[in-house]
Structure 1
């Protein structure tokens, strides 16, 4: 196994061409390291960055007494040999889950408490560095020294938020350890997003408030303010003005989020508790008529209320205790689109479009006829072409 000691440490690990991989398969490769499986129980990690090697080795050494930490067998000048897990990562294991299993939450809490006791913390992307072995036992492969910047496991909470399971995990923590939950809650409350300080010219990223970030895109960033509210900050004044007009004039519609306050470039609105419809439908084998009824009610309300862009992308619909709620309305009054093209495409990808249209035909035959009097575009390019034709036709009138 001396091949790893001759690797050129000045090049990126992603560019290393290693003949030894013929005998020892590569299981992971990144910019600073390559991991080989050298037996059923052992893996070898070769580093091109010695600082990274020291950081990870120190963390593993300090946590060897914990059952959720892999055994560290040897550390050399540019490598380490540690326990190997032929198991899925926690991120893959939780894929498509709408609720975090209690046993997983218990084991995650054990890791968090153990790391705190050892003055360690999870590194970046913890869900990719936690493996799920038999009986849902968790193994963390990347503990590092605690930098003392945060009393709560921010990286873990951020990762769980990214797959819509943060609230589910916190509900378990509240039940399992109310005192710890209250400490975390106090931290979150004492480090709110000061959205009134944002201006449309600010470049401040609020890196210390990443735990509040719900989502970010071209139209703005959304931060959770408390258990019931979130705020959307807009980088473009035009986007802010367009969405504010839609939201404020449509508060009487059941699918529009409640607005509490607006500022020069932000909107404070209700935080939507519940999964998005795209995530929900991934777990379904057939399209329930109740889903179609709710979608149809929403789309009909749009048409009756002066919306010019008629659409409801699955990822923008949240299933809440108060029914379906739709977000992202920047272009609802300014762009013209008579058919819900993205919704059609989303349902087609989920293999539910035919069922949806059959149910619409029974519920609203007239609307079904309008939607199907010409072929439905099933690709993004086809949908964009239809929208262009609508605009071209309107300009010619």
Structure 2
């Protein structure tokens, strides 16, 4: 029985390149909209429901398989339910590493090691981690790292080098004279140039 299917009835509207939520269940709090889905926290719970746009509903099944494969690993949210166009997973309280950079929150080397350990564990299970970036790495208040948005961990897909490139930049970030806070506009600009000219995880 699907306990959360009622929350998947979300209406979207696309305006140009942007997608907006025009109707959703009253118990849902919008937390963000990405390239393929919107994420809502279910009120009075520690859960989120990720509802995929009509053209991307196939990703729900793909991502559910990945979460089930990773079940039990501490760096990944637990999957509770999946349907035709949605998945329900743990709500992870914290800040993305992107937010850490925009707010000047120090990114410790131990966080990088946690990501490396999580990716190594995923590879041992036969997955191919890809498209690992600052917005899908969450730092919790107690210093733990979680990885979310796992659709591009599919088996046998193209291996990108985005995380290794981020680690190279981290070595510069640690230098004493380098700034520890950056504007969102600057980071978005760098990400756009990187995807365009260096590494496009969609291919």
Q: TM-score, normalised by structure 1?
A: 0.37
Query: Per-residue CA shift, 1:134-158, capped at 9, x if unaligned?
Result: xxxxxxxxxxxxxxxxxxxxxxxxx
Report how far residue 258 of structure 1 moved: 1.1
Q: 1:308 to 1:264 in 2, by over 3 A?
A: same
2:153 to 312, 332, 350: 332
Q: Is the 8 A contact 1:313 1:343 kept in 2?
A: no
User: Are residue 383 (structure 1) and residue 185 (structure 2) matched?
Assistant: no
Query: Per-residue CA shift, 1:233-258, capped at 9, x if unaligned?
Result: 11222211111110112112212111
User: Are residue 195 (structure 1) and residue 4 (structure 2) matched?
Assistant: no
Q: Which residue of 2 aligns with 1:187?
A: none
Structure 2 stretches of 5 or more lacking a match?
13-19, 175-192
Instruction: Give the Cα separation in 1 of the matches to 2:137 and 2:149.
Output: 10
Q: Which residue of 2 aligns with 1:230?
A: 48
Report how far residue 271 of structure 1 moved: 0.7
Q: Which residue of 1 aligns with 2:136?
A: 316
Secondary structure in 1 aligned to 2:149? coil
Report how far residue 355 of structure 1 moved: 6.5
Query: Per-residue CA shift, 1:73-103, capped at 9, x if unaligned?
Result: xxxxxxxxxxxxxxxxxxxxxxxxxxxxxxx
Secondary structure in 2 aligned to 1:302? helix
Q: Which has the larger radius of gyration?
A: 1
Q: Which residue of 2 aligns with 1:221?
A: 38
Q: 1:288 to 1:267 in 2, by over 3 A?
A: same
Report how far residue 299 of structure 1 moved: 2.2
Q: Is the 8 A contact 2:37 2:50 kept in 1?
A: yes
CA RMSD of aligned residues (A): 3.5
Report how far residue 347 of structure 1 moved: 6.5
How many equivalent pairs are there?
A: 168
Instruction: Give the Cα separation in 2 of the matches to 1:316 and 1:208.
Output: 25
- Taking CA–CA contacts closer than 8 Å with sequence separation of 6 or more, which of the two structures ends up with the larger relative contact order? 2
Secondary structure in 2 aligned to 1:205? strand
Structure 1 stretches of 5 or more lacking a match?
1-191, 357-377, 389-397
Q: Which residue of 2 aligns with 1:267?
A: 87
Instruction: Give the Cα separation in 2 of the matches to 1:297 and 1:342.
Output: 13
Query: Per-residue CA shift, 1:252-304, capped at 9, x if unaligned?
Result: 2212111112222211111111111222244146x522122212212222222
Q: Is the 8 A contact 1:193 1:223 kept in 2?
A: no
Q: Is the 8 A contact 2:63 2:150 kept in 1?
A: yes
Q: TM-score, normalised by structure 2?
A: 0.67
Match runs of 1:76-87 below 5 Å? none
Query: Per-residue CA shift, 1:159-202, capped at 9, x if unaligned?
Result: xxxxxxxxxxxxxxxxxxxxxxxxxxxxxxxxx994154599xx
Instruction: Give the Cα separation in 1 of the matches to 2:131 and 2:7.
Output: 30
Q: Which residue of 2 aligns with 1:132?
A: none
Query: Per-residue CA shift, 1:218-246, capped at 9, x if unaligned?
Result: 22111110341110111222211111110
Structure with greater strand percent: 2
Structure with greater helix percent: 1
Q: Is the 8 A contact 1:318 1:324 kept in 2?
A: yes
Q: Which residue of 1 aligns with 2:181?
A: none
Secondary structure in 2 aligned to 1:331? helix
Instruction: Give the Cα separation in 2 of the matches to 1:347 and 1:209.
Output: 44
Secondary structure in 1 aligned to 2:152? coil
